[in-house]
Every structure is written in structure tokens, then in C-alpha cells.
Amino acid sequence: MITPGMKATPPRELPGKTAYINAHLVDPANGLDEIGALLSDGESIADVGPDLFRGGSGWSVPDGIQVIDCAGQYLSPGFVDIRVEVGEPGQEHKGTLASVGRAATGGGITTMVCLPNTEPVIDDMSVVEFVARRARKLGLTKVYPYGALTKGTNGQELAEIGMLREAGAVAFTDGTHATANARVMAQAMSYAATFDLMIVQHPEEPQLTEDGVMNQGELCTRLGLSGIPPEAETIMVERDIRLAKMTGVRLHFAHISTAESVDVIRKARAAGLPITCDTAPPYFALNETAVGDYRTFSKLSPPLRSEQDRQAIVAALVDGTIDAIASDHSPQDEEAKRVPFAQAAFGGVGLNTLLPLTLELAHNEHISIMDAIALITNRPADLMDLPAGRLTVGMAADLTLFDAQRGWKVDSGKLLSKSQNTPFDGRPVQGMVLRTVVDGRTVFQLDDEA
């Protein structure tokens, strides 16, 4: 196993034409899965396909076009991550738009949606505009903000949803907090349904999770820790599905982690309700035993669940009940994790490990590589109606070149993230990002000698 060095390169001037030849094109949205080439011109995709630049027995690219030989590696749409905590503004000690952007591009992520749990909260047009303007200036991963569903994400009074939408918010959520008041949630859903806006819920009944620090069960009892029952998630899922049925809103559940929640969502979808959901790698790649001997890097929200729950999440990814995979990137500074388990902050970073952990589903023969890439490209993009996740002529040249087989070992100290609290520290994985391109510019390139 190797832990390759990584480097991020700054944005360049407006790019010219670049030909990516000898690439294994994988584009689930367009059903493309074969060796071919892609041409970018400026910031957009100009052409793509298996016959592009074919000449005789090799490749023939006209003069004046930069050539990148992909050596048969996978070239896909840039990854789309719909659940990222940034830190900026207000919590820059955890992460900034610059540090998160570098980590995201190192993980092949070219588009991400950031949670509103900043300081100040993204419940005002000026904060939406600040995030968008700052991200554009950096020129790294494209950042779209969620708008807060309630003022201050306190769950009591609706935020100015209409104005936030006009300013660029793609959907509405209280982020890391559940919107627990049923009356407030019903009001929010009624308003959102009128304007066809999506609400995203962190499904967790707070009165059942108060003082809890890990999944309730035998291991929790043996460790002497307070438990968070799986029912806390399922109860909120069931309640909100009933409210969604009443109001007709588009409702999305974030980081689903339990077998019962999956069953409830599956039945609601079969009944024709506009319910969608995502999960994150910890919930299909780890279980509660990863907490080990009070390992605070594995203290997450929702908590790591039982092996039965983990298997149910995998099954839901296979059958399509779960629509997408998000990193659920939640950076915490060292002081917040280097404390006793009960006092440690919840959360783990995930931008640099999104690809290899998603590919585990393919390596373990649950799904194909094509279907795995769909879960982090076109499917999350479609959920949030984002112009991303496809190798389509005319769309932005947002690309990820990766080696699906390359093995390495997760080392928290070598991740690009400013905070390094990964629950996967020390895990052998397969799948390495080689190059990330945003608007035709290479913003990350693997450097094995770094």
C-alpha cells in the first residue's frame, strides 16, 4: 500500500483547447463506458466520444491542441458532493473555503453544496452572496449554498426562504440540526411546496438523542456510554413523510443510517411520494465497532450503527432506494477530538476519501463502477438541479481522472483537509484521483514524488 503525496495547483488563465485521449470514459448519465477521448475548449466540453481523435491505429490530434494522455484510466464528470460543512465564515479554525476547496479538488469533487451552519448562519442573502463570491474568486471547487430553513437554524421561525432562493440557495435545511417542531416544519413544507423548493432534513428526534454519544446497543452499554437509539432517526423520517404527504413538498433525508429508515423511505417512494435520500461512506463502510476503545474520530452524527444496519444501507444503494452518496464532510479541530469520548465533538472529514470508499461498493461486487460513479455525479446533481455530473457537449469541462484500482492507505496526517478527523484513518482503500479539472483548468494533479 502507498500513501501518495498530493499537490493542488492554482487556477490558470482562460484555458485553450485540451484533448484528453486514451481515456476510459465513464458517464452514467449518457450511458458512456468505453475507451475514447474528450475535447475541452475554454471552459466547456467541445466534443466527447469513442471515435474522437481516432486515426489509423492510434490517436491523431490536430496541432495547437494540448494533449493529455489518460493512459486508459477513468475519465468521469467531476464529482458532486451535496453535504459539506465549510467553516467559513465564522469557524475558520475548522476549515475555510480555500482549505475545503483544496481538499475537495484533491478528492475529485468539482461541485459541492455547503451547509448553512456557519457564523453567521446562511439565513440572509448577504451570507449566500459572500459564499458564492468567495468561491468564485478562489476558482477551485464550485460551491452552492443551502439556505437555512429557520432563522439561526434554531427551528423556531422560518427564514426568508424566497429571498434566499433568489440569492442562489439550492435547497433549504437546518443542516446539522433537525427541524424538530412539527408545526414549523409543516409551515416550511407548505411554503416550499408552493414554489417547488426542496427541504433537506437531518432526521433525528432530538429528545431521544439528548446526551447520547454513540449507537444504542450492547457495545454502547459495555463501554459505559449514553446511547442514541436507531428509532430516533426512524421516528423523524416517519413524521416528515406524513407531513410531506400532507403538503406535497419535495423532501430529502440526509445521511440515512438505519435499516428501519430505509424500509420506511422505500414504502413512501413506492406510494409515489417525492421522497429522496442520501447516505455517507461511514454508514455503508463502517459499523459501530469502529468506535473501538473510545476512538473519537469515529464519533459521528448520526452515529455508526450495527452491522445489520450497515448491510441494509448497502442493499438500499444497490436497489436505488438511496439516491446518492455525500461525503458528509464535518471538520473538527484537534482540540474538539482529543478529549474523552463523551465530550468529543461529532463529525468526520470525508472529501479525500469519497472516491475510494464509494468504489468499495464496486470492488466488493455490490454494483458496477458505472453505478458507483453515478452515485457521486449525475444522481446528486439531479437531486439539487445543478448543472454538473455529465460529460455533455456544451456543459462545463468539470472532469475527474482516476485510477480505480490503485491502492493506498488513509493517513489522517496527509489529507489535504485543514481538519483531519477521519474515521477511516489507517484503512487500506482502492481508488486514487489523478487529476481534477474545473472549467477546463487543472486545479489538482497527483504528485507521487511529493
Cell numbers placing 157: 421561525
CA distances from 76 to 30, 35, 389, 407 (A): 11, 12, 8, 19
Cis amide bond preceding 302, omega within 30: yes
Is 439 among the catalytic positions?
no
- Angle of the 307-319 helix axis to the 259-270 helix axis, nearest 10: 30
Which residues face 445 on adjacent strands?
7, 435
Cβ atoms of 121 and 144 within 8 Å: the answer is no
- Dig out the grid coordinates for 112 from the structure: 459541492
Nearest to 298 by CA among 152, 145, 423: 423
CB within 8 Å of 363: residues ≥ 6 apart: 430
Sequence-distant (6+) residues with CB within 8 A of 243 are 182, 185, 186, 189, 249
Cα 104 versus chain centre, distance: 10
Between the alpha carbon of residue 188 and those of residues 42, 126, 270, 360, the distances in Å are 42, 21, 24, 38
For the beta carbon of residue 343, count every other beta carbon within 10 angstroms: 11
Q: Pick the catalytic residue from 81, 124, 323, 328.
A: 328
89 is written with which cell numbers? 465564515
Distance CA 101, CA 109 (A): 9
Active site residues: 328
